[in-house]
Chains A and B, each alone.
Chain A
Amino acid sequence: MIDLPLVWAFLIAFSVFMYVVMDGFDLGIGVLFPTFAVGGERDSAMNSIAPVWDGNETWLVLGGGGLFAAFPLAYAIVMPATYPLIIAMLLGLVFRGVAFEFRWRDSAHRGFWDLAFAGGSLVAALSQGMILGALLQGIAVEDRAYAGSWWDWLTPYTLLTGLGTVAGYALLGSTWLVWKLEGAAQDHARRMAVRAAWATIALMGAVSLYNVVLRPEYAERWLSMPDLLWAAPIPFVTGLLAIALLRALAQGREAAPFGCSLGLFLTGMAGLGVTIFPHIVPPSVTIWDAAAPERSQSFMLIGVAITMPLILAYTAWAYWVFRGKVDQDGYH
């Protein structure tokens, strides 16, 4: 017998990971957008993600929709608990998303839509990081419903996770641009990537240390045997990737920095998985408590098994179509 809630927990985690890295570089470019020169540099940066951002953002809908379908209780608790953050994220994504089209349609107000793109991306990134923090620090639940106040999500810890996410997205965005751009714009992206790399490494370290003291059960998962055995490699690999990233940037490599950044996010996600598992809403709701019945989860699993290979195939094809360097006139 398959443990369906466990399978679905991995699928949701996969969606979240896909979203975080794919829209992460879009949002990161948004965060860094004001530092790029008006004109060619900004147009090139925008063109590098214009054909793919919508597909990237769809993983957020799958993450949210998947949570609703597979773990409705978790969805029903987390959304009200982080209400102002969710609303801020959604409004940020509104500004960010329309800016892709509007800046071309209205050259007189392009500066405004560039600002909307940057501001929307920053708000969305910060909110997403803080939602993650609010989840990890624990959510008060009574009688299948959120039982806290509507400011519980605002703590030093969530500010830290928010900043860490902004830095991490900026790292993904800048290393993506190192890969996709040429000339002065690429040089600028590389300088930004070095700063973002240091900020990301520092904030990842800070969040990791904070996690150990955040809740006693987290310390237990990280510091006691036998959990330690499969948790220990994660910080070790993270450290190696961080060194490889900084070296690749220093050596002027083009694709490797983005690859190392993806690796950092993967180990970061794995670390969070060790921290939170088996809860989906710490401290009281496990994945089995929140799971939809077997009929719901198995029905969806059939759909995932059929469609996910196709989705990954045509998404890869779309990326392949728009491979290579990009400039202000689009892809070559």
Chain B
Amino acid sequence: MPDLDALLLARIQFAFTVSFHFIFPAFSIGLASYLMVLEGLWLKTGQQRYLDLFKFWLKIFAVAFAMGVVSGIVMSYQFGTNWAVFSDKAGPVIGPLMAYEVLTAFFLEAGFLGVMLFGMKKVGKRLHFAATCMVALGTFISAFWILSVNSWMHTPTGYEIAANGQFLPGPSWWDIVFNPSFPYRLLHTITAAYLTTAFVVGGVGAWHLLKDRTQPHARTMFSMAMWMAALVAPLQIVLGDLHGLNTLEHQPAKVMAMEGHYQSHPDGAPLILFGIPDSEAGTVRYAIEIPKASSLILKHDPDAPLDGLDTIPPEDHPPVGIVFWSFRIMVGIGMAMLALGMWSLFARWRGRLYESKGLHRAALVMAPSGFVAVLAGWITTEVGRQPWTIHGLLRTADSASPLDAPAVATSLAAFVVVYFAVFGAGVWYILRLMADGVQTGESGPSSGVAGPIRAAGITPAAQGMDAGDPREATETER
């Protein structure tokens, strides 16, 4: 067993690299679907604005996707480098699911990405649209498998334990893939990715509306994004509630930490809105509570008894403070998203969707909120699972590789420096593309004539169009 410092460093490294990684798929899952919708609308209606928007978001997608790919490869190897005991023990069960992710998702995305980015003139509209659909499908299938793996670690089912301590698959793979928390986690996460993307798209639309509220592309983006906010934010809150109830059933200690319930409440547990958890004393200080509301939410009965962490052995407690706060950040943002969605509906009804500067400013501020919510939600579920890697069966402390602390410290430092530098640059490029805005009048693949026609007042394309990038060239050549 590795020493404690090496274990802690390995945990920090995993948390750091997976958090950074997760930002990109959380965006590209939604964006791939959005691109599919935009290209589909263009094919169906023939309207130039959809093609313009498609090409605009495609450039951003390419940068985000590249960062997702390279940070994802790190994850696929980090199981072995830093969590070798876990890999050896769990490999027979979760390894095949990850292999299916590669076979059914990664190859699909990567194989069709080249055509999606560079091939519109070569393959024509319809095949190109098919490639876009395949990339979008790939992002979804990828989420399916990796969330199945993750869910199995939370709610393991369908396994047997061998004499050498390995987890082996039982007779039914269905029981492993569709473990109890998987459907909830999958829906909650996919919906979160869609919302995250919608708020980014809405924020970019709002930014350009604030500069020019007649800008047609900004109007289209903003309207589409606000429909998503209004329709999907409430759905997400329902899904989150269902996921929470599932967690209460299978990982009650996590819900106790989320709720700040150190003590059991035999006749109705209060909902602690805010407070400062003190795990030493086993109490939430300065708590603002709604009596019996927690029992009402979790048990649909205000007087239902709810167990607290006092029923769980101390060595099995998750870190309450982190989970308590990350959960509140996630829920708070979810509520703010719902509020913005409702506001947009009201503005739309009053015919002021493109006029209300207050709404546009709020949407701009909320643009990155999805990322914060997704990370906060992820921290809630992952930290809430501690001290286990496979819930109830394999402890985190027993999962790590036999590495020396200096080795892990060095790699962690390298990851921190490289990720901030490289992905910082990438995020900066994305922001710059977003600020440049949509290039109008880009010719479609089969129009055959004419270079770009630019409307007056639009930023010239030159800034984002360096000679040499074949994607840009397709619009001007011939």
CA distance A78 to B77 in the complex (A): 11
Which secondary structure characterizes the binding site on chain A?
A: helix
A83 within 8 A of B: yes
B368 within 8 A of A: no
A86 within 8 A of B: yes
B379 within 8 A of A: no
- Which of these binds chain B: A100-108, A171-179, A205-213? A100-108
**Known contacts A50-B118, A91-B414, A105-B63, A55 near B107 by CB under 8 Å:** yes
Q: How many A-B residue pairs have CB under 8 A?
A: 259
Closest to A100 in B: B66
B92 to chain A, nearest CB (A): 4
- Which of these binds chain A: B44-52, B80-88, B241-249, B264-272? B80-88
Which B110-132 residues have a C-beta within 8 angstroms of A?
110-115, 117-119, 122-123
B106 within 8 A of A: yes
Q: Is the CB of A107 within 8 A of B73?
A: no
Q: Is the CB of B76 within 8 A of A296?
A: no
Number of B residues, CB within 8 Å of A: 84
Q: Is the CB of B468 within 8 A of A79?
A: no
- Which chain B residues lie closer than 8 Å to A61 at the CB level? 72-73, 76, 102, 106
A6 within 8 A of B: no
B316 to chain A, nearest CB (A): 26
**Known contacts A98-B422, A101-B66, A296-B169, A307 near B401 by CB under 8 Å:** no
Which B372-427 residues have a C-beta within 8 angstroms of A?
401-404, 407, 410-411, 414-415, 418-419, 422, 425-426
Q: Is the CB of B80 within 8 A of A328?
A: no
A141 to chain B, nearest CB (A): 11
Q: Is the CB of A300 within 8 A of B100?
A: yes
- Which chain A residues lie closer than 8 Å to B401 at the CB level? 76, 79-80, 83, 146
A12 to chain B, nearest CB (A): 11
Q: Is the CB of A321 within 8 A of B122?
A: yes
Which A227-262 residues have a C-beta within 8 angstroms of B?
none
Q: Is the CB of B103 within 8 A of A308?
A: yes
A72 within 8 A of B: yes
Q: Which of these, B104, B114, B403, contacts A80 with CB under 8 Å?
A: B403
Q: Is the CB of A68 within 8 A of B114?
A: no
B173 within 8 A of A: yes
- Which of these binds chain A: B30-38, B355-363, B441-449, B469-477? B469-477
Closest to A307 in B: B103
Write 12 A-B pairs (CB below 8 A) sorted by A numbering. Answer: A54-B109, A65-B101, A68-B99, A75-B91, A79-B87, A80-B402, A86-B80, A104-B472, A144-B88, A296-B91, A307-B107, A328-B468
Query: Which 6 pairs from chain A and chain B are nearest by CB?
Result: A330-B470, A72-B91, A69-B95, A79-B80, A51-B114, A76-B88
For the complex with contacts A51-B117, A80-B82, A330-B469, 9 further pairs of A-B residues with Cβ separation under 8 Å are A79-B401, A83-B407, A86-B81, A91-B414, A104-B469, A105-B429, A321-B115, A330-B118, A330-B471
